[in-house]
Structure 1
């Protein structure tokens, strides 16, 4: 093939040399607008895993790169006069210029034609090409020319940053945070050769402007950074190599680039995006150059796998790389947002702040961090346990964060795991009976700190379905008391009840007979903040509540609250989420009122707060109350995470002890973005901005998730739903999986504990032994061959 790479950065150069090595008959040209060996920026960072990929793709080039790398294992976090280190991270730094020099020389040795100081406008300058690689960088002209095909999404992030260098040699990857009268600045520093380190300074746009950096000359801006971070520089100056930039232009905002497609077919040579032209990943996870090189590796591999079938190779390339790149970009987004919101986390104790930073991208979990640096994790676990009132004995294991106690008012939960309130639709006339005794009793015996009964309704017409539980009469109170008494007599778990009113989502069939479908007969009237039909053309219409309705429903909630206290519940939660009655007041999607209960967020909160305050007065003072909110409607014009913080603050002032952060289910037009722990960021924001404890929910499915969330201060409790349906003893099993054996089991089940722990140890040993085998050898071992 005749291959042209437009852009002589790492992507274009590495692809060129890989393809020339694959088949010397290829005619390959790399065209670069800069002079030979020119570059901007300082050092780049690779992980040990990336180096392994380079070694597999081209050992000779990898050897030269490895010989020029500065390697380190530690990450150091400096905050409020404290210095905290964690090891085992395995990073390498190399000067960007040195890297390009190695790739350029390797291309020349293999016979790749390098053309410099040539500014290519588009690919039509190369009519003889069979394949064009658009590796022309962040501001790709080729991507812009074929924007209708590539559909780029470019998001300029909130922080300003400047890429500097220094002769201060940092022996660890160093993060430094310094507060000014204008706000917080942070530095990312790492050594990349024998005497030079990269030193990136970053701050939110508003902080940067308040500090006057937008009006300073380049020299004044560098001097500002030198003064601010003087204690880390040991007298060494900061340097800029961006001679072409003047004034504040050296401070830029990071552009996150995401393209829907990467290949353009124009009837001539296909055009393929690669590197920054196709995607970017924030420098805080050091993956931009990694992604560019791995693009080159994958495209070369796909072409080799489909000789003579370039269209298929390009299809395979895009399919494989887009998935991996999106995964990295999601992690980079998490990391970017963490650094954009440092002010949210600086109030954490330094120990927790450092842990939060280390796990910010969600690529590094609690157990992954333990593999990297066991001593660091165990010391941190001891710190968390001590702050929870535990003191480890000399023969005891460190306590995983999920198993530390949590106290709120007069109630202490033995651990941070909560069985979510999960609708079971298994009551007759609202009466909880044997089914709920077994359902909740089994899960209370399964190790969780607290079980929460499903949404329970204060009146018959407040139910979602005829199968929903109620708490409006003494018979129901006594039914609940039977369950509460069982939990208290047979377990050390606490039990909570969630009170809620279905509003416009009521009077429907149980899900297995038609989810959200109205009852075939016997439907009851529906009320909500404003008239609405939850499912267009299907649901019954609700009517807007008047003042008399509001008074009646408020007193219904108060009556149920008193009955819940008589039943002996330890905790009460008010349901203000998911489009139910109180949620319908809060969300602008469902509240179109023009009176004092509509319009602004403060007005829309007025009635839910009124109900909450009345319930708080009726509920025993020594027992906690939480509120479940929808922190995001996932619909344009609906509740946003910014609103969620304000909602939480309002309930906190009203006396709420904790916010249960869920989302969605307010509108059928919702478009949620799913993923593991996908709702935890809402709990994080509310906890650390509104200053109130939170419960995280949503796709939390293993101990590692819970430990990471609690340890990082992203939430105080984790509510687990579906995993508890599959296994009532989820907490006991997960504790055993992470190797924690000091957990108390129900005495009736203790004979199973030792056997489970032995079986899990055998499985771990077998997995370790098998890890080094080939797939064929693994299959043979599994078959006993």
Structure 2
């Protein structure tokens, strides 16, 4: 039996294999609501054979969007439209569905990537004032405004409210976005967090908001819904957030009952130096995996079935996430099944697509 195609659980959610599709922003929403693009896109991904599809970063407040076309889950109308999308998908797929809830912090208020992705000021069309733990800009972005303690508490409540809406919409998994230089990561990193109060300075203070957000979400929603956290395990810059702190954070999350940690890296500082190569982030996931009992998801330039199989077989991580690779090849799990000689369930409408030599693997 293939390790990649063995079943495993995140919290109370059983996944039919170890293949996960991570959140990938589509920048195609209308006032935060999913459009026809999202319905088609996520149906396509749900028919891929992956065990879990995590819907892209969905903002907990309008100010928390990366762009003006981001998905949101800050109001009930957005929740209802998400629910409709999930209902359609579940008619044709048994893939589990998750959502990433997020606040972009000082990296919010940008133009769409295909229009250059430049930072937009509060006076620009489609722009607004950004916020952060400290009034320090990301790269050449417009400067953020420092959050007050009362505003931090409001952000925490917005995360909790977003999680409740995700539960109502019917998601199986909720992922808290604390990676890639967005707001919760900005609190974690000493590069972006220069506060002198209970939310800055020591590791305990810098991790306070994320741990409080996790704990309050966990207490607010059904225990059968898995709640995990995505982190950047390192800022890839001296003096920044690093792997030892990520291990310590993961241990703290595990003690609170966290169901998984999804290990990425970088995104906080434009001076980062990332050694890009296949598996470049897997050692980060492995370092955390070896120190916790909590499921760990590895992601980043994992593109080949044998590569993914080896990561699971050698206990470097419990799950692998295929992101950009699955946008390029939306039936990647089908190919992995043929390479690893494993049966895979496909929609009956697609059964006749199986190459003759692999007919026995498609069911």
Instruction: Give the conservation status (yes or no) of the 8 Å contact 1:561–1:619.
Output: yes
Report the equivalent of 2:295: 693
1:567 pairs with 2:169: yes
1:744 pairs with 2:317: no
State the shift of 1:547 in Å: 1.3
Find the structure with the greater CA-based Rg.
Answer: 1
TM-score w.r.t. structure 1 length? 0.45
Alignment of 1:153-172 (within 5 A): none
Instruction: Give the conservation status (yes or no) of the 8 Å contact 1:505–1:516.
Output: no
1:729 pairs with 2:335: no
In structure 2, C-alpha distance between the alignment counterparts of 1:747 and 1:682, rounded to whole Å: 39
Alignment of 1:229-240 (within 5 A): none
List runs of 5+ in structure 2 lacking aligned partners: none
Correspondent of 1:528 among 128, 132, 150:
132
In structure 2, C-alpha distance between the alignment counterparts of 1:633 and 1:585, rounded to whole Å: 13
User: For 1:669, what is the secondary structure of its paired residue?
Assistant: coil
1:546 pairs with 2:144: no
Distance 1:526 1:457, change over 3 A: same
Instruction: Give the conservation status (yes or no) of the 8 Å contact 1:471–1:560.
Output: yes
Report the equivalent of 1:421: 23
Report the equivalent of 2:49: 447
1:608 pairs with 2:210: yes
Alignment of 1:75-94 (within 5 A): none
RMSD of the alignment, in Å?
A: 1.4
Report the equivalent of 1:515: 117
Instruction: Give the conservation status (yes or no) of the 8 Å contact 2:3–2:312.
Output: yes
Report the equivalent of 2:222: 620
Alignment of 1:384-403 (within 5 A): 399-403=1-5
With 490-499 and 731-740 compared, the bigger mean Cα shift is at: 731-740
List runs of 5+ in structure 1 lacking aligned partners: 1-398, 759-785
Superposed CA deviations along residues 247-305 of structure 1, whole A, max 9, x for unmatched, are xxxxxxxxxxxxxxxxxxxxxxxxxxxxxxxxxxxxxxxxxxxxxxxxxxxxxxxxxxx
Instruction: Give the conservation status (yes or no) of the 8 Å contact 1:424–1:454.
Output: yes
Report the equivalent of 1:641: 243
State the shift of 1:757 in Å: 3.1
Instruction: Give the conservation status (yes or no) of the 8 Å contact 2:133–2:192.
Output: yes
Instruction: Give the conservation status (yes or no) of the 8 Å contact 1:659–1:694.
Output: yes
State the shift of 1:455 in Å: 0.5
State the shift of 1:614 in Å: 1.4
State the shift of 1:638 in Å: 0.6
Instruction: Give the conservation status (yes or no) of the 8 Å contact 1:736–1:756.
Output: no
Instruction: Give the conservation status (yes or no) of the 8 Å contact 1:414–1:492.
Output: no
1:720 pairs with 2:322: yes
Aligned residues: 357
Larger proportion of helix: 1
In structure 2, C-alpha distance between the alignment counterparts of 1:673 and 1:756, rounded to whole Å: 39
Report the equivalent of 2:192: 590
State the shift of 1:490 in Å: 0.8
State the shift of 1:756 in Å: 7.0
Alignment of 1:464-475 (within 5 A): 464-475=66-77
In structure 1, C-alpha distance between the alignment counterparts of 2:87 and 2:231, rounded to whole Å: 29
Report the equivalent of 1:661: 263
Superposed CA deviations along residues 644-679 of structure 1, whole A, max 9, x for unmatched, are 101111111222111100000110000011111110
1:501 pairs with 2:103: yes
Instruction: Give the conservation status (yes or no) of the 8 Å contact 1:487–1:495.
Output: no
Instruction: Give the conservation status (yes or no) of the 8 Å contact 1:645–1:686.
Output: yes
Report the equivalent of 1:179: none
Correspondent of 1:480 among 54, 57, 82:
82
Report the equivalent of 2:280: 678
Superposed CA deviations along residues 294-321 of structure 1, whole A, max 9, x for unmatched, are xxxxxxxxxxxxxxxxxxxxxxxxxxxx
Alignment of 1:120-199 (within 5 A): none
Report the equivalent of 2:253: 651
State the shift of 1:517 in Å: 2.8
